[in-house]
Amino acid sequence: MKAKGLLFGAAVVLALSAPSRADVIFDNTSGIGLETTGTVFMNGLYEGYEALSEERTWATDLLDGEHFNHKARRAARRSSVMPDEIMDRDLLEADIPDLSAGLVRLRTAYDRGGRTIAPALAATAQVSFDCWIESAEGTNPATGLRTHSAWRQEDVERCRGQFEKAMSDLEAMTYFRLTEFRKPAGSPAAPMPVPQIAVAPEPFTVYFAWDSAAVDGAGNRVIDDAVASADDPGIVDYTITGHADRSGAEDYNLQLSLRRADAVRSALISRGVKEGGISVAGRGEAEPAVQTADGVREPANRRVEIILL
């Protein structure tokens, strides 16, 4: 969490030298062992955050132990509990694109009704994301002891793996539920026609570093997935749309979004996609994935969306 580096050392010393005094400063227990009477999703959040709070407290990370304890308590009270935001954590620049992409995936699944369709999976995905982003912050030497970076990387891999598994299952559930259409009740002799609802193709999203149009390793993997999903990359049409955040002038961001789209276009061509089957557009800062004030650097908005038609 922001300012975590200022408190980390003091928290560790306090926890090791006088555990009984730690509870006076950090509230790490008020959300433990509460009775839950909410939905499957809220109860799942409670159980996940309760366990995460105890894990971080046991590891003498009292600040995050308190943070997750408060999330568990809110879930038990059936209050809204959202995943941590990218801007709330002191992350290494290299970790931001993957975490931003993960957060967008989670929000998209929620928008598709994931918390209702598969509430237990949705809760696991959210808690695992918060575990992942907290662990990633722990690998940043600026937020804690440098000697902690190695074993916190193990936490990153564990939490990210749990998130990826839950998200894959959640996305499959929400996608197939959206494409299932049942005939309305009526006379078997004269069934009513079933309306056909078009589902927009799911985009493949490539994220970029600030003020950059270079496709990194994670972006190349997304492009590989997009090409692999086509039965024949040479005959599928690709629509590529570039975007930028609001941290620069509008005219500059429009050009930057086009450069990003062109970079993805070149990457597709290098993988055998025919140039004539690719359409490119730039939206600048006009269509953000996350709404922000002007001048804000938002990693989720620095992106190119690839749609296969």
* Nearest residue to 125 via CA among 165, 90, 153: 165
3-state secondary structure of 207: strand
- Let me know if residue 242 belongs to a domain: yes
pLDDT of residue 142: 75
Residues 160 and 255 in one domain: no
Residues 221 and 128 in one domain: no
Residues 211 and 148 in one domain: no
Q: Which domain holds residue 123?
A: 4-178
3-state secondary structure of 81: coil
Per the CB < 8 A criterion, the answer to whether 95 and 44 are in contact is no
Residues 157 and 31 in one domain: yes
For residue 239, the surrounding DSSP H or E stretch is strand 238-242
Residues 15 and 121 in one domain: yes
Rounded Cα–Cα distance for residues 141 and 144 (Å): 6
Q: What is the pLDDT along the chain (309 residues), one digit of tens a residue?
A: 655 554 444 444 444 444 444 455 788 888 899 998 888 999 999 999 999 999 998 988 889 999 999 999 989 988 888 999 998 899 999 999 999 999 999 988 888 888 888 999 999 999 999 999 999 998 887 765 544 566 788 999 999 999 999 999 998 887 765 444 444 555 455 555 555 544 456 788 999 999 999 999 989 999 998 888 876 655 567 889 999 999 989 999 999 999 999 999 999 999 888 887 888 889 999 889 888 889 999 998 999 999 887
Residues 108 and 147 in one domain: yes
Taking the model in full, what pTM does it have?
Answer: 0.55
Tokens standing for residue 66:
């308190």
First to last CA, the chain: 41
- Let me know if residue 96 belongs to a domain: yes
Residues 172 and 235 in one domain: no
Rounded Cα–Cα distance for residues 91 and 138 (Å): 8
pLDDT of residue 16: 45
Number of domains in the chain: 2
pLDDT of residue 177: 52
Residues 139 and 237 in one domain: no
- Let me know if residue 184 belongs to a domain: no
In this predicted model, what pLDDT tens digit does every residue of 199-233 receive, in sequence order?
456 788 999 999 999 999 989 999 998 888 876 65
CB atoms within 10 A of CB 6: 10
pLDDT of residue 11: 47
Residues 44 and 165 in one domain: yes
Residues 40 and 155 in one domain: yes
